[in-house]
Amino acid sequence: MLICVPEVLSKDDVAEFRRVMDDCAWEDGRSTAGAQSALVKKNEQLPPDSEVARRLGNHIVSALTANPRFISAAIPLQIFPPLFNRYGAAEGHHFGIHVDNAVRGDHRTGLRIRTDLSVTLFLSEPEEYDGGELVVEDFYGFHEVKLPAGDLVLYPASSLHMVTPVTRGRRVASFFWLQSMIRDAHARSLIFDLDTAIQALVERLGRDDPETVKLTGIYHNLIRRWAEV
């Protein structure tokens, strides 16, 4: 399941993020890569423990928890502190095909999560750079993702994925992982589809329509059956 969530950050938020980040020192992106990923990773990132990275990351988490589509798609239990990377054409940056680590730990907070979903939040507009597509493989083939600044994409952390070489400009993004209350990806997809249908019915019939109320009950009972908290 690959789901796009528009306008997680406003354009003003993105502009402020970029202004702050442009004044920061960046480091080799391999510092947070696993053994296999480090072999194919060539980019830069903000030092994860820096005050700027933590402050901007907290802003993102606050925006996510207030976003109904994100909550519906992810049903998050724990969100890993967001990280930030950039890919430059002059440096030949790219990230070859890889799979994310199954478990991520944050030494500063002691948080450890199972990585059910990977998240990329775009902080550059598509016209700012060439290349740099996020490419995710699933049962139906490869999918290229290149979203407006402020939008994000959710996809299974178990997926093979890559970032194609940036050939012009600079690609800036936030990336992180989350553990969902619903571990099973198929069950999580069914719940998302059900919630989407319920919200459409609410728009047409109102929240107090008897059939809408019944479906809402089914939605919560499925979460009650499958949730791990």
Q: Which residues are annotated as a binding site?
A: 98, 100, 161, 171
User: Cα–Cα distance between 160 and 181 in angstroms, integer?
Assistant: 23
| Residue 49 CB coordination number (10 Å) | 11
Q: What is the DSSP letter of 43?
A: -
Which residues participate in the annotated binding site for 2-oxoglutarate? 171
User: Cα–Cα distance between 161 and 21 in angstroms, integer?
Assistant: 26
Which residues participate in the annotated binding site for Fe cation? 98, 100, 161
Phi, psi angle pair for 125, to nearest 5°: -70, 150
Reported as type and span, the H/E element at residue 86 is strand 83-88
Max distance between CA atoms of the chain, in angstroms, equals: 60
